[in-house]
Every structure is written in C-alpha cells, then in structure tokens.
Structure 1
Amino acid sequence: MEEEQDNDDGQLMEDDYYALLNVPRDASQEEIVNAYRRLSKLFHPDKHTDPIRKREAEFLFNKVKQAYEVLKDPHQRAIYDSVGVKGLETEGWEIIQRTKTPAEIRDEYDRLARQREERRLQQRTNPKGSVTVNVNAVELFNPYEDGYEDEFDSEWPTIEVSGVVVNQSVQAPLTTRDTATIAGYVNTHNGTGFGEVTLANKRQINEKGWIEVHGGIGSGPLVGLKFLRSLGKRMFFQGNTSIQHGNSGIRGGIDGTLGMQVGKSTMGYFTWQTSGASSSMSTSVSQDTETTHFNVTFLLGIPHSYALVNFTWKLPKADLRLKSTVKAGTFGAEMSYGAEKKISEQSTVAATIVIGVPSGVTLRLRLSRASQNYLMPIQLCDEVLPSPIFYATIAPLLTYAIVKKLVIDPIVNEEKATKRQRQKETYRNRMAEKKKEARAAVDLMSNTFARIRAEEEARRGLVIVSAEYGKLELQGANGSGATGDPNLRRQESDDMGPPEPEHIDVTVPLQCLVKDSKLIVHDSTKSQLAGFYDPCVGEDKHLRVQYLFHSQLHETTIADNEALRIPRQSHRVNKT
C-alpha cells in the first residue's frame, strides 16, 4: 500500500511535457517544434529588461526547452514515455548508450522492471484462501412435519450449518525461478470430515513453460506432478498426474488440457481427465471482451454428462457484472443468475441464485477481500417453489442497499477524503511553487494576451471572455466565478466549514493559445499548461470557457482530461 501511495504522489508531482507544450502524445516532430517555437517566443528572457521578469522568464523558458529537448530526441522520448522523468534522471542515460532504437529502449526498461519485480517478489509471500460455510435453511420455506408432538419443538424454523470447507495456501518465492507453496484443506460435513496438507515447488523452466512437483498427507500419502508447455503463440498444453495411497488402496489420476486461441478474444479448450472410477472428456469455447464473457461447455463422462452455457455482462463504469448460467445433463438441470459488485479497490461482493431439479433453490453469497474469499451457500428449498426464488432475489438487493448506505459509502468516502488530504499535504510545497510559476507565466503573457485579443476582436474572431479551471459547479455555470486575484483566483475553504469550490481564472493563458481564430487543447490534464496549476488536488476538475466568435456568445464546460476544440456551433448561447 505504501508503495502504491508513493507511486501516486510521484505521478502527481511529475511534470507532463506533452501537456506543457500542448501537443498530443503521438505528436509529430513538426508539431513539437512548432509548439516549442511559440512558447519560447512567449517566455524568451531577451524580451524583458526588468530583472525580476527576466529571471522569471528564464525559468519558464528553460522549462519549456527541457520538455522540447526530451520530446524531440527519439531515445529520450521513448524513455520518458515508458517511465517518465525519473527514467531520464537515473538509469536512462546508461540505457541510451547501450541501445539504438526506441523499441530497444522500451524492451530494456521492461527487462529492468521485471528484475525489480522479481526482487520484490523474493521478499514477499502471497497468501490465498477461502472459507465456505454451507447453511441448511430448508425449513424456512418447506418445514418438516413428522406428525409427532415434542415439548421442545420451537415455532421458529431450524437453520443449521451443515458443513464448513477451509482452504489456505501461502506462496514464497525462493529464487527468480522457483516458488514454494504450502497449502491446507479441511472439510467437515454433518459432524464428520477430513483434511489435507500439501507442499509444492514450482519452477519456471523458460518462457514457454513451468513444472511443479507436489506432495501431501491427509487421506493417505499423495505425490503428483503438474506442468505447462506453450506449443506456439496460440496454443498450450497443461497436464497433471497424481498417485495417492488410501484405505481403499492406491488410486491414480491423470488430466490434461489443450488450449488454443481461435480468435482475437476467443479461446478453445479440450480436457480429458480420469480419477478412480470416474473419467470425462470436455470441450469448451470461451469469448472474453471488455463488456461480455461467453462460455459454452460440453462434457461426456462417467458418471455424469452435461452441457453448460454461461453469459456475463460487464458494466465497467459501475464496477458491476451480471451473470447467468444454464446447465443440463444426466444429473438433472439447473439455472442460475446473479450479480458481482466491486465495492472498493480490494473488495467484491456477489450473490447468485441457483434453481435446479432435483437440487432445489440455493442462494450463494460471496465476499472477496484481496486474495481471500468467503462463501456462504444457503440451501433454501429442496423443491422449486416461487417463494424462495422471490426472497432469494429480493433479500440480497435490499441487504446490499442498506449496508451500502450505512456502512460501505461512509467507509469509501472516508478513504477518498483521507487520500485527498494526503495528496494535498504531499503536494502543498509543490503546489505553492506551481502557483507562483503560474502567476509569473500569466504576468509574462500580458503583452501577448493584449496583442492576440486585439487581433481577434478586429476580425470578429475568437475572443475568450472568461475561463475558469478547477472544482466548478456544473449547474448554473453563468456568473459562478470566484473572487480575488483577476489573473489567478482560488477560494480557500474555512477550517470550520465544508470546503468551498476551488478554481482559478485562466482567461489570459487560454487567449494566448488562440491561433487563427482557433483554440485546441489536447486530452491531458490542464493543470500542466503554461499559466495553469492544480487548485484542488485530488478533486474532479473541469474547464469552463465563455467566448465570443463572430460577436456571438458561446459557452462550454469540459472535464480535466477532455480535449477542447473551439469555436463550435453547438457552444452558441441562444438568447431570447
């Protein structure tokens, strides 16, 4: 977590050379040169005789020049694109001496990144686990009546825990190629149970495959071997064999899976497995895209065969997945539907209703926290009845709504507020520098601003009336400016009350970007533009612009990382 926070802060404080020059990340050399020439003329020290202004101009000119020198050189640009400014300050120069092309530079940095990751992995363990609690709640909807009277009988239905399954494993990298795993398994059902402990070592042979040797004790000694081998760019084979000595003698098991990529987002699998008296062959096709997941499986085996169709609809913006499955075979048939919701960076909750014949109705609840899973299958009814289906569908939705309102939302909001506060504290000194730098830039732009504005007014071109950047009220935009410094304004929050909207006036720097009655600002954070700074660290920011074009008033508001292209007919303000 600390490492992740450091990375966030580093990205927050690092300059964006593309945004500073106001060019896209795929800008050509000509675009970079033109942007540099324009800004260098704006901040050239020779244009000023006042010592203070000259010193400010030298600082801004050197900053623009530094961005230009990095982006114009393919080697430095490749390093900057890969790892940012820190790559130029440390290992970057050594890599430039060893490589010749941008592709080689990226490959070299990828190699170094893998080495750093391997070193970190050697110092960490990776625990994984799951706890499954099986609950029998059949008497809620189908109470058992034996015809006898008992003085201890209760009017309340009996809900009992029928079984518990616990899985836990810990991975520990031994070398860059070897990983040891110790795992434990315990299963209890209706008062009886068994357990198993296994120890495994996995070795990465090469980029094409790995092999794992494992052994365990529990229901008798167990030894086994797993391996994976790539058979080309689109095909692999994974196998597993094991031998276990138990009360019934020696039992062996073999299974293998052949996987092949049959499309851009489609995989096909063929699996064969045998263990004791059971064996099966299955074929499945799986398609996974950004918005959907679809899977079809056919299995022929002893003692059961079945066909399965699964569909998942992904809603990335809502961190939500809607799932449905239909399965039918010699055992009967079942249908399931449910939803999975991501409630925080590390936590996910899910609820699934399974309706089957002859299995009945089951509600499966799951909470995932990092690498730990907690599952609770609740058997509601042995038959398919409307009431358990209805309550199994409605109860999780109502429970989640209540828990989200009373528990999840306050926790998430507190985490966001803590992160914003940490960012503000980290960024405080840097923000003061950026604010001072922006003030100086706006001051140096005054003559250019007056010239460009006069030219645009004379031709009835593009005149920026007002521009505000920061945390803005998106409703009632007209007349909602801040007070204070006419060039750079920020509303400070009172310690005793809620934070006020924080924004700055950026009319001057935006007007200076106008060329031939057009203004283009590319899709990166506007806080890095000359004359801008971030007035509300950690908050969502917008840019609101009011402008005249052909003497007609126009207005638009865009998000921080959204591109701005004006003038546009759709921005025109219709006056009645």
Structure 2
Amino acid sequence: MGNVDFESGEENANENEEDYYAFLNISREASKEEISNAYRRLSRVYHPDKHVVPELKNKAEILFNKTKKAYEVLSDPHQRAIYDSLGVKGLETEGWEIVQRMKTPAEIRAEYEQLAEERAERLKQQRTNPTGNVTIAVNATDLFDPYEDLSLEDEYQGDFNFPNIEVSSMQFSQSIDFPLTQKDTCTLSGQLHTQNGVGGGGVNCSWRHIFSHRSWAEVEMTAGNGPALSFRGFRTLTNRFFLNGGTVLQFTPEGIRPGLVSTLAMQIDKHSVGYLTYHGGIRSLVSTSFVRDTELNTFNFAIQVGLPHSHVTFNYTRKILSQELKLKLLIKIGTFGGLVEYGAEKKVSKHSNLSFAVAVGVPTGVKLKIKLTRASQVYNFPIHLCEEVIPAPIFYATVVPIVVYTVVKKGVVEPFLKEQKARKIEKQKQNNLNKLLERRKEALAAQELMMATYNRIKSDEENKNGLIILKAIYGKLFTDRNIRADEMSHEIIDVTVPVQCLVKDSKIVLYENTKSQLPGFFDPAIGEDKLLYIVYTFRQQPHEVTTQDNESLRLPKTSHRTNIT
C-alpha cells in the first residue's frame, strides 16, 4: 500500500472532465492530419445520415456533435492551446483575457503561465507562512541506572520503586511571514524555553529585501534576554561562488557586544558544494565543510576549530526513493568526546515525515531522538535514556521504535487510510452519480451505433485471419478473468464492441490517455485503479493482454500469445 495523504481533503476536480484526445484516441502531440483522420473515422460511425431508425438517429446526433466539438477545438491552434492549459472550463470562460486571435499558441501558453504565477503570488501575499518548532526533552536515565543504592536499610530493599521520568526542558518557537511586496517580507517570531525550572524567551522582528536573484539583505531586532540588532546579507559573487554574512550587536549593561559571522561557499560541481565559515565575537571559531548531495546519497564532512569545542563530523544519508525512506549515520569526534548517531526518516503522508535516531556518545550516554515534521511544523522529543554507554538502552532504543511504528502503522494508520480512501471514493461517486449515469447512457448509445461498423470490421478481419476481439473488459482491478457479461458488477463493463471498432488494418493503437473517454467506454469505478483486459485472436492464434488505464497499448504483439483455446 502506497502512502496516501489523509491530511488533504481535495477532490479530484477533473475526474469527469471531457478529454478530447482520449475520445479521438490520439496522442497529445497529434498532428492536424491525425486529428482529421480520427474525426473522419468517428464521423462514419456517428453521422446522423448513416442511421435511418429515428431513435438511433437521435443518439447519433448527440455523439456526432461531441465528435465535432472535439475536432473543432483540437484542429484550431488557439483553442487547442487554451484547452491544453485550462481544459474545457477555459474554453467556456467569457472574456478570458488571454484569448486574442493575434497571439500564437506558444504566446497563449506563456501568458497563461504568467497569469498563473501572478495569481499564486497574490495568494501568497494574502496568506502568512507560519513555521514552528517544539522541543520537549525527557530525562529517563532512571530506567537504565547501572548502579544500585546499597545504603538502603534491609526493610526497604524489597520494595519496588517506580523509575523517575521527568521533562527536563522545553522549547517553543514560532514565526510568521508577512509579505509586504514581491521583494519585501516582514517576519515576526518568538521563542520560549525552560530548563530545570528556569526559563526565558525572546521576540524577533525582521525585514528582508530582495534586490535581485543574486542578492538580498535583512535587518532584525531582538528583545528578551537583552536587546540585540543584527544585519545579514547574501550575494552571489560568480557562477560558482556566493557569500553569506552578517553582524550582531547585543546590548548589555556592560556595553555593546558585537559578533560576526561570514560564510563563503563554492559550487564544486553539479552535486558538491564547499563552505568556509568564520564566527567572531563571543564565540570564535572557523569551520570548513564539504557537502555532496545526489539523488540517492548525501555526504557531509566538516571540521571546526574554535571555542568552546573543536570537532570533526561525518554525516551520511542513504535515500531509498521507492519506500520514501532515508537512512542516516553521524560520527562526531572532538574535544568534548565522541558521538555516533544512527537512525531513519520515513515519509508517512504527503506533508508529514517521522524520524527516529539513536545517539551513543561519551560523556553524553545514550539518547533516543524522535522528530515529527508536519508541513512547516517540527516536533522534537529527545529522550535521555542513560548517562553511561551500556547495551540495554542501545538495544531498546533501536528495537522499540521499529516495533511501535510497525504495530501502529499496520493496526491503526493503514486501516484508517483505507477507510478514508473508501469514503472519499464513495463521496466522489455520489457527487458524480448523475454524470456517471449520463456517461453510461452515452456509452451504451455509442455501442449500439457501432454495431454495423463492428460487424463489418469483424467480418473483414475474419476473412483475412486478422485481429478479432473475443472479449474486452474494462473497470476496477479484478482477478477472475473468466467473467460472463451477465455476471459483471457495476464496476466492470463489457467493451468488446468498441475495442473491435478500433481495429484498422489488423492493428489497434491506444495512446497514454484514460480509456474511460474512448467511444463506447465510461468510468464504472470513479477514483479506483482500472484495467483493460482483452482476449483476441490474430492469424487464428489466441492472445490476451491486461493494461493499465493510462498505459499505451498496441495490438497484436507476440508477447500476448497464449495457449488459451
């Protein structure tokens, strides 16, 4: 089961929108000649003059008008450009500002993209961009205390004492962006922290101005643990070098305490960047680092020399894209001691990531770090398990999160997602019930109008031992392929007739469009994965094939040959 985003309530607005390319069975890059040929092919089936019976003539008129509309839109470069960008709704919008006959299709698409960017920018200015960080540190060292208190009296030695687990510190931060113009942004942020009953906090207000894509500048005022004023800036020096730096002026009763930070970076190659950083003032240090980030791996090697500590750090991340998983390893050695940290980060939904890490070090001991990232909110839960490096806390810190995650995922999350997806699909079906009935009626009418063409094509193919469709089924994923027409559920439809009508010169070509829009088809399972299953003969040899809804298909193929009689 893939990752299903249960945080988003968005419905698929284009589930039932007309797809003219799919209806004509042509590619989205089809030439004008291919569009005309497809139009003529369907016109021979649906033209009202081809039918004498009044009922069939009325049905044919409806489908012919649909064929004609698809041809008119796709054969006109301007309407086609609008349709490609906005769909049918774009064609129906009156007074749309980009519909000007003197513009080329490329200009229409470019103007549409520009308008979309401007709308997105306006929407961005109307909204804030809140980000937050919550850190709750837990002291659980009493769980794995390696020492025993032998000073207790005998009468108390048999008593059971619950381990003392407490919250040792908490930290909260929140920031909100206020876009003033396209180049100016004001940010208001605040922090609160407490540790062992003693706490503090601060409020920051900053203003950033973007001069160009190569440079920006920012000024920030801080109030809380003494007022401070800082200036920061960024500048791209060349195609390979950029500079980021600033200064901080902290106002104290003893006077102004200045600080300086500057980073020079060099783009070594497409995936690698080198950094040289200098901190001056209260904290004086120099550090250099090398970062290489590829599709599957991330390396980070850094050396820091200064106060209060000097250290060497190696950080490696392995990305497993198919499982949306990252495996991480950190090794850090310095004047403070040594540290090894390993863990994993998993994408649990569209907007949420969950990570676990175990840190083993001297003199810090063993820590379990849990982090949940939900959109722009970060929640950290570092748990200090032991002040000594012993096997038990390392084992439990490694195994317990994996077991808990697996149990919760299988027992709670996946059933919840499955149920929510089912409710969403059912809601889509209810919302689209009338349109579904209309499409079903149209598909049955199309199949009825195809019978003469079906009989002619089938007879021609039989006479030359060509491509003959024995059975074609379209709909929700199914396993029992031996389904009779009278046994089919409402989520599966028989499309033998329309598929045979697609045969031309003993061949069928279906493009990468949804097959629900083909003449004689409709979507019997909205929101579900669908397949097209075909059994056919070619040169009297049995064949069968199953293809995905949006997968291209060519018949016949030697790989489809079977021993079915």
Structure 1 length normalisation: TM-score? 0.88
Secondary structure of the structure 1 residue equivalent to 2:426: helix
Describe how 1:241-256 pairs up with structure 2 within 5 A: 241-246=247-252, 249-256=255-262
Match in the other structure for 2:460: 455
Question: Which of these residues, 98, 115, 129, is aligned with residue 132 of structure 2?
Answer: 129
Within the alignment, does 1:566 sit opposite 2:555 as a pair? Answer: yes
Shift in CA distance, 462/271, structure 1 to aligned 2, threshold 3 Å: farther
**5+ long unaligned stretches in structure 2:** none
Shift in CA distance, 275/439, structure 1 to aligned 2, threshold 3 Å: farther
Shift in CA distance, 223/83, structure 1 to aligned 2, threshold 3 Å: farther
Question: Which of these residues, 363, 367, 374, is aligned with residue 362 of structure 1?
Answer: 367
Shift in CA distance, 557/159, structure 1 to aligned 2, threshold 3 Å: same
User: 1:410 offset after TM fit, Å?
Assistant: 2.9
Match in the other structure for 1:507: 496
Shift in CA distance, 298/111, structure 1 to aligned 2, threshold 3 Å: same
User: 1:403 offset after TM fit, Å?
Assistant: 1.5
Shift in CA distance, 206/139, structure 1 to aligned 2, threshold 3 Å: same
User: 1:537 offset after TM fit, Å?
Assistant: 0.9
Within the alignment, does 1:220 sit opposite 2:223 as a pair? Answer: no
1:112-136 Cα offsets, whole Å, 9 max, x none, are 1122122222332222212111112
User: 1:522 offset after TM fit, Å?
Assistant: 1.6
| Equivalent pair of 1:344/1:412 in contact (CA under 8 Å) | no
Secondary structure of the structure 2 residue equivalent to 1:54: helix
Equivalent-residue separation in structure 2 for 1:387 and 1:528 (angstroms): 61
Within the alignment, does 1:417 sit opposite 2:422 as a pair? Answer: yes
Within the alignment, does 1:444 sit opposite 2:433 as a pair? Answer: no
Within the alignment, does 1:170 sit opposite 2:173 as a pair? Answer: no
User: 1:360 offset after TM fit, Å?
Assistant: 2.6
| Equivalent pair of 1:163/1:189 in contact (CA under 8 Å) | yes
Secondary structure of the structure 1 residue equivalent to 2:550: coil
Equivalent-residue separation in structure 1 for 2:372 and 2:517 (angstroms): 41
| Equivalent pair of 2:475/2:524 in contact (CA under 8 Å) | yes
User: 1:534 offset after TM fit, Å?
Assistant: 0.7
Judge which range, 325-334 or 367-376, deviates more.
325-334
Match in the other structure for 2:110: 107
Shift in CA distance, 454/393, structure 1 to aligned 2, threshold 3 Å: same
Describe how 1:17-28 pairs up with structure 2 within 5 A: 17-28=20-31
1:68-98 Cα offsets, whole Å, 9 max, x none, are 3333344433333333333333379642428
Within the alignment, does 1:57 sit opposite 2:60 as a pair? Answer: yes
1:501-558 Cα offsets, whole Å, 9 max, x none, are x111111111111122222212222111111111111111111111112212222212
| Count of residue correspondences | 557
Within the alignment, does 1:43 sit opposite 2:50 as a pair? Answer: no
Q: For 1:296, give the aligned amino acid.
A: N
1:184-209 Cα offsets, whole Å, 9 max, x none, are 11122222222111112333444444
1:187-244 Cα offsets, whole Å, 9 max, x none, are 2222222211111233344444443322121111122233334456666443333222
Q: For 1:539, give the aligned amino acid.
A: E
Secondary structure of the structure 1 residue equivalent to 2:13: helix
User: 1:245 offset after TM fit, Å?
Assistant: 1.6
Q: For 1:161, give the aligned amino acid.
A: V
Q: For 1:523, give the aligned amino acid.
A: E
Match in the other structure for 1:203: 209
Within the alignment, does 1:395 sit opposite 2:370 as a pair? Answer: no
Shift in CA distance, 250/351, structure 1 to aligned 2, threshold 3 Å: same
Within the alignment, does 1:433 sit opposite 2:426 as a pair? Answer: no
Describe how 1:230-379 pairs up with structure 2 within 5 A: 230-231=236-237, 236-246=242-252, 249-259=255-265, 261-289=267-295, 292-303=296-307, 304-379=309-384
Match in the other structure for 2:73: 70
Shift in CA distance, 24/136, structure 1 to aligned 2, threshold 3 Å: same
Equivalent-residue separation in structure 2 for 1:96 and 1:260 (angstroms): 46
Match in the other structure for 2:539: 550
Equivalent-residue separation in structure 2 for 1:309 and 1:86 (angstroms): 54
Q: For 1:189, give the aligned amino acid.
A: Q
Equivalent-residue separation in structure 1 for 2:58 and 2:275 (angstroms): 67
User: 1:334 offset after TM fit, Å?
Assistant: 2.7
1:39-92 Cα offsets, whole Å, 9 max, x none, are 233322332233433333233233233333333344433333333333333379
Within the alignment, does 1:117 sit opposite 2:111 as a pair? Answer: no
Q: For 2:283, give the aligned amino acid.
A: A
Shift in CA distance, 247/514, structure 1 to aligned 2, threshold 3 Å: farther
| Equivalent pair of 1:468/1:481 in contact (CA under 8 Å) | no
Judge which range, 42-51 or 540-549, deviates more.
42-51
Q: For 1:61, give the aligned amino acid.
A: F
Structure 2 length normalisation: TM-score? 0.89
Shift in CA distance, 220/570, structure 1 to aligned 2, threshold 3 Å: same
Equivalent-residue separation in structure 1 for 2:8 and 2:379 (angstroms): 26
| Equivalent pair of 1:141/1:388 in contact (CA under 8 Å) | yes
Equivalent-residue separation in structure 2 for 1:425 and 1:512 (angstroms): 32
Shift in CA distance, 308/173, structure 1 to aligned 2, threshold 3 Å: same
Shift in CA distance, 142/513, structure 1 to aligned 2, threshold 3 Å: same
Shift in CA distance, 340/248, structure 1 to aligned 2, threshold 3 Å: farther
User: 1:364 offset after TM fit, Å?
Assistant: 0.8
Equivalent-residue separation in structure 1 for 2:460 and 2:500 (angstroms): 11
Shift in CA distance, 81/268, structure 1 to aligned 2, threshold 3 Å: farther
Shift in CA distance, 125/461, structure 1 to aligned 2, threshold 3 Å: same
Within the alignment, does 1:149 sit opposite 2:152 as a pair? Answer: yes
| Equivalent pair of 1:349/1:367 in contact (CA under 8 Å) | yes
Judge which range, 531-540 or 348-357, deviates more.
348-357
Equivalent-residue separation in structure 2 for 1:420 and 1:23 (angstroms): 29
Q: For 1:67, give the aligned amino acid.
A: A
Equivalent-residue separation in structure 2 for 1:4 and 1:158 (angstroms): 40
- RMSD (CA atoms): 3.0
Equivalent-residue separation in structure 1 for 2:339 and 2:220 (angstroms): 36
User: 1:414 offset after TM fit, Å?
Assistant: 2.8
Q: For 1:109, give the aligned amino acid.
A: Y
Secondary structure of the structure 1 residue equivalent to 2:444: helix
Shift in CA distance, 73/244, structure 1 to aligned 2, threshold 3 Å: farther
Match in the other structure for 2:35: 32
Secondary structure of the structure 1 residue equivalent to 2:14: helix
User: 1:400 offset after TM fit, Å?
Assistant: 1.0
Shift in CA distance, 123/56, structure 1 to aligned 2, threshold 3 Å: same
Equivalent-residue separation in structure 1 for 2:66 and 2:262 (angstroms): 60
Shift in CA distance, 277/45, structure 1 to aligned 2, threshold 3 Å: same
| Equivalent pair of 1:9/1:426 in contact (CA under 8 Å) | no
1:136-180 Cα offsets, whole Å, 9 max, x none, are 222322344454327698533322221111111222334444333
| Equivalent pair of 1:163/1:187 in contact (CA under 8 Å) | yes
| Equivalent pair of 1:353/1:361 in contact (CA under 8 Å) | yes
| Equivalent pair of 2:170/2:193 in contact (CA under 8 Å) | yes
Judge which range, 411-420 or 90-99, deviates more.
90-99
| Equivalent pair of 1:362/1:378 in contact (CA under 8 Å) | yes
| Equivalent pair of 1:143/1:157 in contact (CA under 8 Å) | no
| Equivalent pair of 1:270/1:284 in contact (CA under 8 Å) | no
Equivalent-residue separation in structure 2 for 1:188 and 1:385 (angstroms): 29
Shift in CA distance, 35/324, structure 1 to aligned 2, threshold 3 Å: farther
Question: Which of these residues, 512, 532, 536, is aligned with residue 523 of structure 1?
Answer: 512
Equivalent-residue separation in structure 1 for 2:91 and 2:63 (angstroms): 20
